[in-house]
Amino acid sequence: MDLPVLWFILIAVLWAGYLVLEGFDFGVGMLLPVLGRKDKDRRAIINTIGPVWDGNEVWLLTAGGATFAAFPEWYATLFSGFYLPLLLILLALIVRGVSFEYRGKISDPRWAAWCDRGIIVGSWLPAILWGVAFANLVRGVELDASHTFTGGFFSLLSPFALLGGAVTLGLFLTHGAVFLALKTDGDIRTRARALGLKLSTGTTVAAGLWAVWAQLAYSVAWTWAAVLVAAVSLVLVVVMVAKDREGWAFIFSALGIVAAVVLIFGSMYPDVMPAIDPANSLNIRNASSTDYTLTVMTWVAVALVPVVLLYQSWTYWVFKKRITVAHIPEPIGLSLKKTDDLTSA
C-alpha cells in the first residue's frame, strides 16, 4: 500500500477514535441537565467520564497534528475554510474543559450552575458542528484553483450539512445515554436506559436518511456496506438497550459511529477535500507530504499507537466500576471567602 493511502486511512482511524471516545463525553455532557436533577446525580454523571475525558480529547489533537504532518494542504484549506465553525468548537472545548475541572473546586450552588452551563453548551455545540463539517466534506465545497476556500460561512449550512449535524447530535446523545446506562447504577441507570431507547430510535431514522442521501448523491458502491453496518448496529443498540445488555449496546453504538466515519471517508476517497468543481479538488496526492515525511511519521505511529491504546485501555480498566450516588463523597471544594483565626497575622 502506498503511503498517502495509508495515512488517509490512519487519519480516518484517528477521527473514528476521537468521535467514538469524545462522542460519549459529549453525550454525557449534553444529558447532564436531563438525567441529573439533583447535584449529587450530576456529580455522579460527570464522574463517569472524569478520569478519561481529557485523554479522549487528545485524539482530536492527534488527528489535527497528523493532518498537518501528512496532508498540509488539507490542513491549511480545511481550517482556514471552516474558520467560524472551528472557532465555535474551540471555544466550546475550552469552556467545557475548565468547567469539568473547576466545578468541584468551589462549594457553591451558583458556581456549580455556571459550570454546568459551560459543560452543557460546550457539549452541544461541537456535537452538532462536527456533523456539519463532515457533511460538507462529503458534499464538496467551493475551492479555487489554488485550493483556497471561496465559499462563505453560510455556504456551509446546506440542508444536507444541517442534517449531518443532526445525525452526529443524535449519535452522540445515544452513545452518551448508553454509556451512562453502562457506567452507573440505580436511578440514573434506569432513566439513561429509557432515554437511550427513545434516542436510538430517532437517531436510526435520521442517520438512515442522511446515509442514503449521501450514498445516492455523493458516494460510491462499496460504502453501501458501511451504511448496512451502521444500520444494523443502530438497530442492535435499540435491541440491546431493551434487553438490558448495556455493554453490547455500547459496543454497537460505537460501531455505528465507526461505520459513519467509514462512510464519510469512503465517500471522499481519493479526495480529501472534494471541490464543487472537481478540477480543484484536493486529493491524497496533491495534498500529501513527501514520502520521506510520511515514512518518518509511519514509524512514529507504528511505534507509539499500540502503546497509547494499551495504557488508555488500562485507564478504562482501572475505573471500570459503575458509579452511583453513594460513591460520591461530600463536596471537597472550598468556599470563595475564607475566614480563619490567622487573619490578624
Partner 1 sequence: MDVLDLGRWQFGITTVYHFIFVPLTIGLSPLVAGLQTAWVRTGDEKWLKLTKFFGKLLLINFAIGVVTGIVQEFQFGMNWSEYSRFVGDVFGAPLAMEALAAFFIESTFLGLWIFGWGRLPKKIHLACIWAVALATNLSAYFILAANSWMQHPVGAIFNEETGRAELVDIWAVLTNNTVLAAFPHTITAAFVTAGTFVAAISAWWMVRLVRSKKAENVTLAKTVYRSGLRLGMWVMLVAGVGVAFTGHWQAQLMFEQQPAKMAAAEGLCHTEQGADFSILTIGNLNGDCESVRHLIALPNLTSFLATNTFDAEIKGTIQIQDEMTQKFGATRGEHSEIVGVDAPTDGTADQELSYIPNLAVTYWSFRLMIGFGIFSAALALGGLWVTRKGGVSDSRWIKRIALVAIPAPFLASAFGWIFTEMGRQPWVVYPNPNPSGVDGVWMMTWRGVSTAVGSGSVITSLVAFTLVYGALAVVWGKLMHRYAIEGVPTEVHDESPEANPDKDEDAPLSFAY
- Partners of 323 in the β-ladder: 184
Task: Give the span between the Cα atoms of 110 and 106, in whole angstroms.
Answer: 10
DSSP per-residue codes, 211-238:
HHHHHHHH--GGGHHHHHHHHHHHHHHH
Instruction: Pick the closer one to partner 1 by CB: 76 or 251.
Output: 76
Instruction: Pick the closer one to partner 1 by CB: 242 or 336.
Output: 336
Query: Minimum distance between the CB of residue 238 and partner 1, rounded to whole angstroms?
Result: 31
Query: Minimum distance between the CB of residue 211 and partner 1, rounded to whole angstroms?
Result: 28
Q: How many CB atoms lie within 10 A of CB 345?
A: 4
Instruction: Pick the closer one to partner 1 by CB: 221 or 341.
Output: 341
Contact at 8 Å (CB) between 130 and 85?
no
Q: For residue 73, how far is the Cα from the chain centroid? A: 24
Query: Minimum distance between the CB of residue 222 and partner 1, rounded to whole angstroms?
Result: 29
Query: Minimum distance between the CB of residue 45 and partner 1, rounded to whole angstroms?
Result: 10
Query: Minimum distance between the CB of residue 145 and partner 1, rounded to whole angstroms?
Result: 12
Query: Minimum distance between the CB of residue 229 and partner 1, rounded to whole angstroms?
Result: 28
Task: Give the span between the Cα atoms of 329 and 326, in whole angstroms.
Answer: 8
Query: Minimum distance between the CB of residue 329 and partner 1, rounded to whole angstroms?
Result: 4
Task: Give the span between the Cα atoms of 213 and 181, in whole angstroms.
Answer: 32
Task: Give the span between the Cα atoms of 223 and 264, in whole angstroms.
Answer: 9
Query: Minimum distance between the CB of residue 231 and partner 1, rounded to whole angstroms?
Result: 33
Phi-psi region of 70 (alpha: psi -120 to 50; beta: other; left: phi over 0): alpha
The cell numbers describing 3, all together, are 503511503
How long, in residues, is the chain?
Answer: 345
Q: What is residue 63's three-state secondary structure? A: helix
DSSP per-residue codes, 239-299:
HHHHTT-HHHHHHHHHHHHHHHHHHHHHHHTTEEE-BSSGGG-EETTTT---HHHHHHHHH
Instruction: Pick the closer one to partner 1 by CB: 140 or 256.
Output: 140
Q: β-strand 271-273 against 282-283: which pairing, if any?
A: antiparallel
